[in-house]
């Protein structure tokens, strides 16, 4: 009788307004088409509004690992179970990195990247284009039917580089040039081959690529309307700067882009739509940056009001592979004579 009375009154269990939200779970099977044996694999979760390179510049909010021993199968098709837990409400992308050579580690920027020979994938909307399928979660959902496909082998190395430009002047009327040079990395924490010499496809390089989405034979304008208005073309790799000042408040950042020199394209040394390895890269810095405030609002700031001091330099390849200086390599010993790890501690000084 009491139960009937409670039902008739529409009684509800009291809710604690201060209780932690119930978090969500994603799981399923990751399938690799190509590798014959398992390898340690990482499932990375990205905010769909802040996707990973090359689509965006986002960083994973969490990750899960699948040990090599968890894989089974053969004949070019292997699989393993995976799960990501404690996921907040939101819309997410799931990507995968099959670490074929065992040199990935998510804790450090210098090791948290896919290297030549690794395989990539994710939860995809289209197997042909490789577009990721966003997943929306809320209220403690447990989705156990999320397939992840790994099928793209990387045949190029991360675009490791040394910075040849110590500083730029934000009030100088002349065009500010930023010079980068490919480098091998011979460190106790990571090894990357010496610059591409035409023989070893896994030599470090910049993969110079001019986008031609409309197939008219001409390079497309830069996707940033402000840069396109100044004549910039849609050329990879991208070069990004980020201010490193210690005075930044939580959630605050400064970011800028260096426009890649189109001369190799305009001179005919590079063909539109054809990825071409080069080992040096020139960019032009326009003294402007996007300032993200602690509340998430953004403003565009131009010289002379940019913060002076050290800015990191990041290169993003069309493959999605990245490299940033300064990085942790500078703090570890070299593994070969003549290699200077300290060069990886350089930052670009904006004056």
> Does residue 340 contact residue 332 with C-beta atoms inside 8 Å?
no
pLDDT band per the 50, 70, 90 thresholds, residue 262:
very high
The tens digit of pLDDT for each residue in 181-192 reads: 999 999 999 999
The tens digit of pLDDT for each residue in 117-175 reads: 999 999 999 888 889 999 999 999 999 999 999 999 999 999 999 999 999 999 998 98
Does pLDDT of 303 surpass 60? yes
- For the whole prediction, is pTM greater than 0.85? yes
CATH 3.30.70 fits 24-153, yes or no: no
CA-nearest of 138, 146, 140, 120 to 34 is 120
Per DSSP, 23 falls in state P
**3-state helix/strand/coil string of 190-220:** CEECCECCCCCCCCECEEEEECCCCCCCCCC
- Of all residues in the chain, the percent with pLDDT exceeding 70 is 94
Which residue's structure tokens are 């070299």?
Answer: 334
pLDDT band per the 50, 70, 90 thresholds, residue 18:
low
22-to-87, 88, 139, 321 alpha-carbon distances in Å: 9, 8, 6, 35
- Beta-bridged to residue 181, according to DSSP, are 162, 280
- Residues carrying CATH 2.60.40, the chain: 24-153
**pLDDT attached to residue 8:** 38
Instruction: Report how far residue 291's alpha carbon sits from residue 96's, in angstroms, rounded to the nearest whole number.
Output: 31
Lowest mean pLDDT among 17-31, 216-230, 288-302: 17-31
Instruction: Report how far residue 213's alpha carbon sits from residue 234's, in angstroms, rounded to the nearest whole number.
Output: 10
The tens digit of pLDDT for each residue in 26-85 reads: 999 999 998 889 999 999 999 999 999 999 999 999 999 999 999 999 777 999 999 999
**pLDDT attached to residue 3:** 34
> Does residue 136 contact residue 90 with C-beta atoms inside 8 Å?
yes
Q: 85-96 burial string, b = 16+ CB within 10 Å, else e?
A: eebeebebbbbb
Average pLDDT over residues 315-329: 97
pLDDT band per the 50, 70, 90 thresholds, residue 340:
very high
**pLDDT attached to residue 7:** 36
- Name the region of 71 (left: φ>0; alpha: ψ -120 to 50; beta: rest): beta
CA-nearest of 301, 168, 313 to 237 is 313
């Amino acid at each position: 009788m009491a139960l009937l009375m409670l039902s008739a009154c529409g009684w509800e269990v009291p809710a604690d307004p201060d209780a932690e939200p119930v978090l969500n779970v994603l799981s399923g099977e990751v399938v690799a088409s190509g590798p014959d044996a398992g390898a340690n694999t990482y499932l990375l979760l990205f905010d769909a509004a802040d996707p990973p390179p090359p689509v965006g510049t986002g960083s994973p909010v969490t990750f899960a690992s699948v040990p090599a021993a968890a894989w089974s199968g053969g004949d070019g098709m292997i699989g393993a179970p995976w799960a990501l837990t404690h996921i907040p409400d939101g819309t997410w992308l799931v990507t995968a990195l099959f670490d074929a050579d065992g040199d990935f580690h998510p804790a450090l920027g210098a090791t948290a990247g896919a290297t030549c020979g690794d395989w990539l994938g994710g939860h995809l909307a289209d197997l042909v284009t490789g577009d990721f399928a966003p997943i929306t979660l809320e209220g403690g959902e447990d989705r156990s039917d999320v397939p992840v496909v790994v099928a793209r082998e990387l045949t190029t190395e991360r675009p490791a580089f040394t910075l040849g430009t110590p500083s730029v002047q934000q009030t100088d009327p002349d065009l500010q040039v930023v010079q980068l040079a490919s480098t091998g990395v011979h460190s106790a924490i990571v090894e990357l081959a010496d610059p591409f010499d035409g023989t070893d496809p896994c030599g470090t390089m910049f993969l110079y690529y001019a986008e031609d989405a409309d197939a008219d034979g001409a390079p497309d304008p830069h996707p940033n309307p402000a840069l396109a208005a100044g004549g910039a073309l849609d050329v990879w790799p991208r070069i990004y700067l980020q201010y490193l000042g210690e005075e930044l408040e939580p959630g605050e950042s400064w970011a800028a882009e260096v426009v890649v020199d189109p001369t190799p394209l305009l001179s005919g040394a590079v063909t539109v739509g054809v990825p071409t390895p080069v080992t040096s890269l020139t960019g032009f810095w326009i003294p402007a940056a996007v300032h993200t405030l602690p509340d998430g609002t953004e403003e565009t700031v131009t010289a002379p009001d940019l913060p002076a001091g050290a800015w990191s330099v990041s290169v993003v390849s069309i493959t999605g592979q990245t490299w940033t200086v300064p990085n942790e390599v500078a703090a570890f010993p070299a593994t070969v004579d003549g290699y200077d790890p300290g060069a990886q501690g350089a930052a670009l000084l904006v004056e």
